Amino acid sequence: MLDPSMAPEGKHTLWIEFFAPYQVENAEGTGLHGTGWTDELKSKVADRVIDKLAEYAPNVKNAIIARRVESPAELGERLGALKGKYYHIDMSLEQMVFFRPLPEIANYKTPIEGLFLTGAGTHPGGSISGMPGRNCARVFLHTQRPIAQTLKEARDSMKQTAESVFRVFQNTELS
């Protein structure tokens, strides 16, 4: 809607992201860079994805006027992402949450004192949510301000507030 060059007037662009292996099983040495990805295979996979989407959006097949299908090999080539992994690593169960990117550095800290890790390879992963950066910043700030200091400041603040309220209450009773 914001970029008229993306679709004809009155039409829209739909982006469908589907995770597929970089190397097609039993197709080594064929297709783009020997990955097994051919134009025919890309079309087959895209057709299956559209078929599945059509179960929920029945008019989607009739609404398509053009499509561009990109294999993981092409995606990797275009983005410079090793093996097409633009999230840096696989988005699979063993690479998620406290396993991302590795269990020993999944909390944004690295073994190097003062060095923190963020980006698409950290939890919650890629996209443009900004969450990996936010999460890393929180961990960083926590290391700069230990919880004991934070709790002490909160206690002191509540104490000052209570004393202030008590003073106002005392002065009101005396008046």
Q: Is 82 within the bounds of a domain?
A: yes
Q: Is 138 within the bounds of a domain?
A: no
| pLDDT above 90 for 44 | yes
pLDDT the model gives residue 56: 96
pTM of structure: 0.57
Q: Is 149 within the bounds of a domain?
A: no
The domain in which residue 47 lies consists of 1-86
CA-to-CA dists, residue 155 to 29, 76, 166, 175, angstroms: 66, 52, 16, 30
Per DSSP, the chain holds a count of helices (H) and strands (E) of 5, 0
The owner of tokens 């914001």 is 2
Q: Is 81 within the bounds of a domain?
A: yes
Q: Is 134 within the bounds of a domain?
A: no
Beta bridge partners of 109: 116
Q: Is 165 within the bounds of a domain?
A: no
Segment 5-37, tens digit of pLDDT: 888 888 888 888 887 888 899 988 899 889 999
| pLDDT above 90 for 53 | yes
Burial 67-103 (b: 16+ CB within 10 A, else e): eebebbbbbbeeeebebbbbbbbeeeeebeeeebbee
The domain tally of the chain equals 1
